[in-house]
Structure 1
Amino acid sequence: MNRFSASGLAGVIALAVALGPSPAKAANASLKYVDTACSISPTEFSTWFASGSITDNGSVTFADSVSFPLQNTKCDFYKWAHQMFLWITSPAGGSIVLDSPVFFDVNFNSGGNAVYVPNTFGKMNNAFALRGTKPQKIQPGGQAGGGDTLLSLNDSLVYFGVHANDVYAWFNTAVSNGALPATTPFPSSQSELNAIVQYAAQNGATLPDANALTMELKTAWVDAATVSNLDEYITITSVVPNYQKTSTTQWTIDPKMPSIPKTLALVGIHVVGPVNGHPEMVWATFEHHRNAPDNDFYFEPRFTPPTPLLVPFDSSGTWTFMSNGGSRDGALVAQMTVDGSTGNINATAGNTISQNNVYRVNPWGNAPTPASAENNSELISLNGDIIAMLTMVNDMRANYFQVGGVWTNNGSIPSSPTDSHLVGSLLLANATMETYHQKGSATPDMGCFGCHQSTTSTGTSHLFSPSNVPLVPPASNKQ
């Protein structure tokens, strides 16, 4: 069952009041109708598909970031993010675009520098991990704000991947090899992109997705064998750490077989990249509809005047990270952490390695106050339209929704989480990747730019560094 029920594809989307996984909840959809401020018609949505029509598991083209309108609305950014998500999860070579040669998996060497690992059709190159202690600049896959990790109700660890597209990898290589100055920002114009395309060509590489610009992703996965309704999930094959349940307070990596292959099911993804005029990048995130319930939130109905209406917290139903009817009290408490040196999982003080209830503290990336109703309604409207149209053709991507996105109104680089230029989902987080970073006395609610603030474009990224391992050695720099 999807999170939304549609009463027409022209953008009149009925809001399922509890927004949960239970079919019974969708019956309440007729109670309220969300404002359709950010709608997408079947005609427009069809243009996203390579075939020109909406088809089950159909290939979606990437959003043209170079041609992104300078005179834009919030809806333009949310549509850009959603098209990118559907492109990344489109079929390719027996898997998905994420797992194709267009993208690299990113691993980290002993020095903490990124290594771009090429994907090859037909080979299982993915090597995902758990979150270890965070180095100064690089987050090697996983939970933000520390070494805590997460266990699903069905006892699957959450595994994390870091990825970058070929444009990103070649841009980083050009900077690492001195072909571009270290101060070069992420490309957000045709001329800036041309320099990267030309450098790649000089080294024998073509970039078929060049106008997507530099894309970086973080993904969260669970063991596919532990989820019900597997046909609702995007899956890939991967190699993950092989843990032995040594005790209730420690799991250790098996020294005889430190890693094992698994089929993994996607539960969360960050989609990040620049668009025309926005080198700070657009930061968007998506989740599977069964992950966890929302905290209280408000939306604007299609009534006049559009008085914000409350949707209360409701955890009843079958979730991946929240017990049926679970409480917000006692939720979001890390039960275990990853030892950065050994990879072992250790229980936090006074706890055992176990599940803990999870919910989205700031639904749609904004505080649960009436002031957030307008932004929430834009996201609900767009999600509702897209999910309705994907559901009609039985596309499994209908089971994922956009939580939100954030950027600046003038393309400036945000220097703080309270930068006055921030627009969109200001407290954005993903329940599977910033689980314990959503709130807390030590780490106040602050959204993406709480960690990704900087004085430079590339400084907003924890992945980018001139010290990262280049795709070709400096000697191959053919100026």
Structure 2
Amino acid sequence: MKHFLASMHQAGRCAGLVAGLAVGSAGAQILPPNPDPTCTVSQADFNGWFQSQPGPDQAVKAADSINLDTNGNCNFYKWSAQMFLWLTSPATGPYQGNRVLDSQIFYQLDKGNLVRQDNTVPRNLALRATKFGPDGLPIVIDAEGRLREVLPAPKRVGLTAAEGTAPIEIAAVRSTANGTADFLNAQGQQVGSLTPKVSVDMLPQNLGRLAALAPAPRAANDRALAVTDPRQQIADALTAKKVLIEIATRNGSVFMEAGTGRLVSLSPGQAGGDGVLVSQQDAVVFYEVLVNDVYAWYLTGRKTPNGIAPTYDKNNASTFGLFPTTQSDLKAILDFAQAYGGPSSFPDGNALAVEVKMSWVDASTLPNNAQGYITRQASIPVYDRSNSADWIPQGNKVVTVALVGAHIVGSANGHPEMIWATFEHQANAPLATYTYTSGGQTVTVPSNTAGKWTFSADGAKPVYNEELGRYDSDTGQIKAAAPPLPIGPANVLRQKAWGVAADGVPNQEDATPAAAATQVISLNADVRAKLAAAGAGSDPRFNYLLIGATWTLGGGEPNGQYPANPGVNNEIGTSMLTNSTMETFMQGADTSFKSGTNCFDCHGSSGQNPKVKADTFVSHIFGSINPLPLIAQTKGK
């Protein structure tokens, strides 16, 4: 078997991607003509989104999540569109700052703490953190298009080749006839077989989400109490789940399936997670995570004894609780905030709990000095790039950055799993083949990579979405992910153009991929037309597109993408949703539902909550964030 890295450079692996969206003279995504109007917003409702009236740079109100009409997918997409326009609105009235996203109602996540925004200080942006799976482990996509969680083998000199032997340096790995691994030393001699199971020393010191894999604590007098150490129980559970074990060799990493010892090749472009996205202008993409005041005070109340019930215990899934979805939930959060020195009101209260992740790039590297982009000041890392395989951090600098992507996630009426919506700037990247309907007929839009794109070369060909740089969180360095290829720009293609796979039934409402894509396209076209009619065609918000939104039927615990098992799996809406600036390397090798991921593949519920609704485990950050510091209690609780 060829070394797994070789598979990354086989253009034929992406041969099925022969279609995509035409590019205009500016290299921007152009919405296809005359979509069937299957999802539109009435003029009266559109006017009602605004604080005063539609127009350039006019402020938009947050969507009313408490009273969201959950009948029909279109209402979820309209919620998404309004939330983006609100988030990127000029800050007026109770909001202080440049835009709402810069205002004091949002807190930036910084090393486990929530930092209230100060518009007088540039925000710190960071490189991509590891993409995490449902158990909080790094993830990759294997050659069959499946999301797999990964644990590194213990970092030490060499590896124990077999039980009871001394550590031996593994120089290479070869596949046996049955697909398992033989390990070779520097002389090419076989040194044995690695025991294919997860060991306790592979687990991180801070278990985080992994703690949910251990049974909940029992009473001390329970004679049935297991004597097995919880960390060993977690290791055994991960072995049973067949996670991948990453083994470093002189020739790069190889991935072995726990429990079987089978060697697993990765999807083209995958190099083991921690991927760094670099634009065609050699600008690194940086990220930040924000939560609104409702989220921050809800989390603080849940993590304060005698605060908001139930008191959160990261080691007991039955205490994880649900994100707020009702007026009474909001009242409990506000009552707690008022009792502990918080705000007297939430300007965005009806939005409920909101979590935002945004991707930014140095604005000076974009055409026309980033005209047509949402911009702001930020502090970003600077690198010594003299070694094309190892970029070394050299401090920070303050620059103007431009928004290229945004996830907007929020709880809503009957949906504690949260609605997961994503947006991109229209000039980001070309699209793979997709279909939509016009005049009642299905139309295929072929792929066209020609044009000037931020993350793809003019006329790019496969391999797409190739991971060329990896972030080392221990040192802050960016290292080549696929030597001898240098760190640099990849050719990005959005595989599921509008969050919909090219095959299967996408959700409970749309029988075909074309029908599902048309709803998103139709709403984008309708909102743009109404903005243009109001003279807001020059507003930078005009240049961002809703890619899609996903949620679960009835707010239930996510159990799988709808097209994989229609009528059983409950992840609906645009059920194969990714953002090409955030899940660049997680999109899969083609447009099928069997390849790639949806938001809930990583953001699953605990599976141990006795309630039928999805719990706070869907948020990767909820369990790890420290509560806000509290002022002495001013009211009786």
TM-score (norm 1): 0.87
Residues 25/173 of structure 1: CA separation in 2 closer, same or farther (3 Å cut): closer
Which residue in the other structure is 1:11 paired with? none
* Per-residue deviation, 1:24: 9.9
Which residue in the other structure is 1:42 paired with? 43
* Per-residue deviation, 1:139: 9.6
Q: 1:320-469 counterparts in 2 under 5 A?
A: 320-327=454-461, 329-350=462-483, 351-369=485-503, 371-391=512-532, 392-393=535-536, 394-417=538-561, 420-440=569-589, 444-454=595-605, 455=607, 456-465=614-623, 467-469=624-626
Q: 1:143-158 counterparts in 2 under 5 A?
A: 146-158=273-285
Separation in 1 of the partners of 2:30 and 2:302? 54
Q: Could you give the per-residue CA deviations for residues 214-240 of structure 1, whole angstroms, max 9, x where no partner exists?
A: 000100010011001322100011111
SS in 2 for 1:167: helix
Q: Is the 8 A contact 1:240 1:260 kept in 2?
A: yes
The structure with the largest alpha-carbon Rg is 2
1:224 to 363, 375, 381: 363
Which residue in the other structure is 2:117 paired with? 119
* Per-residue deviation, 1:62: 0.2
Q: Is the 8 A contact 1:138 1:463 kept in 2?
A: no
SS in 1 for 2:376: strand
* Per-residue deviation, 1:75: 0.7
Q: Is the 8 A contact 1:158 1:221 kept in 2?
A: yes
1:208 to 322, 340, 347: 347
Residues 19/273 of structure 1: CA separation in 2 closer, same or farther (3 Å cut): farther
Structure 1: gaps of 5 or more residues? 1-16, 109-113
Amino acid at match of 1:194: K
Matched, 1:240 2:240: no
Matched, 1:79 2:78: yes
Aligned residues: 442
Structure 2: gaps of 5 or more residues? 1-19, 142-146, 150-272, 313-318, 505-511, 608-613
Q: Is the 8 A contact 1:21 1:319 kept in 2?
A: no
SS in 1 for 2:554: coil
Q: Could you give the per-residue CA deviations for residues 10-53 of structure 1, whole angstroms, max 9, x where no partner exists?
A: xxxxxxx9353436999996xx52110101233321111101x2
Q: Is the 8 A contact 1:133 1:339 kept in 2?
A: no
SS in 1 for 2:464: coil
Separation in 2 of the partners of 1:248 and 1:90? 40
* Per-residue deviation, 1:475: 6.4
Which residue in the other structure is 2:443 paired with? 309
Residues 154/106 of structure 1: CA separation in 2 closer, same or farther (3 Å cut): same
Separation in 2 of the partners of 1:324 and 1:231? 21
Residues 18/25 of structure 1: CA separation in 2 closer, same or farther (3 Å cut): farther
Separation in 1 of the partners of 2:29 and 2:357? 31
Residues 57/216 of structure 1: CA separation in 2 closer, same or farther (3 Å cut): same
Separation in 1 of the partners of 2:59 and 2:298? 26
Which residue in the other structure is 1:101 paired with? 104
* Per-residue deviation, 1:133: 4.1
Q: Is the 8 A contact 1:365 1:403 kept in 2?
A: yes
Amino acid at match of 2:126: A
Which residue in the other structure is 2:66 paired with? 66
Q: Could you give the per-residue CA deviations for residues 311-351 of structure 1, whole angstroms, max 9, x where no partner exists?
A: 01011111000111112x11111000000101100011322
* Per-residue deviation, 1:149: 0.7
SS in 1 for 2:358: strand
Matched, 1:285 2:422: yes
* Per-residue deviation, 1:389: 2.5
Which residue in the other structure is 2:170 paired with? none
* Per-residue deviation, 1:138: 6.7
Separation in 2 of the partners of 1:289 and 1:45? 22
Amino acid at match of 1:62: A
Which residue in the other structure is 2:21 paired with? 18
SS in 2 for 1:365: coil
Amino acid at match of 2:433: D
Separation in 2 of the partners of 1:423 and 1:27? 26
Separation in 2 of the partners of 1:26 and 1:205? 44
Q: Could you give the per-residue CA deviations for residues 268-287 of structure 1, whole angstroms, max 9, x where no partner exists?
A: 00000111011111000000
Separation in 2 of the partners of 1:452 and 1:21? 35
Q: Is the 8 A contact 1:132 1:339 kept in 2?
A: no
* Per-residue deviation, 1:246: 3.5
Separation in 1 of the partners of 2:125 and 2:31? 40
Q: Is the 8 A contact 1:407 1:422 kept in 2?
A: yes
Separation in 1 of the partners of 2:459 and 2:539? 29
Matched, 1:166 2:169: no
Amino acid at match of 1:235: T
Separation in 2 of the partners of 1:228 and 1:432? 18
Residues 377/133 of structure 1: CA separation in 2 closer, same or farther (3 Å cut): closer
Amino acid at match of 1:228: P
SS in 1 for 2:46: helix
Which residue in the other structure is 1:192 paired with? 329
Separation in 1 of the partners of 2:493 and 2:422? 15
SS in 2 for 1:283: strand
Amino acid at match of 1:463: I
* Per-residue deviation, 1:405: 0.3
Amino acid at match of 1:227: L
Residues 345/174 of structure 1: CA separation in 2 closer, same or farther (3 Å cut): same
SS in 1 for 2:438: coil
Which residue in the other structure is 2:6 paired with? none
Separation in 2 of the partners of 1:281 and 1:432? 21
Which residue in the other structure is 1:89 paired with? 88
Separation in 2 of the partners of 1:421 and 1:360? 24
SS in 1 for 2:331: helix
Separation in 2 of the partners of 1:281 and 1:313? 32
Amino acid at match of 1:193: L
Separation in 2 of the partners of 1:412 and 1:317? 42
Separation in 2 of the partners of 1:94 and 1:284? 24
Which residue in the other structure is 1:3 paired with? none
Separation in 2 of the partners of 1:204 and 1:139? 36
Residues 27/154 of structure 1: CA separation in 2 closer, same or farther (3 Å cut): closer
TM-score (norm 2): 0.66
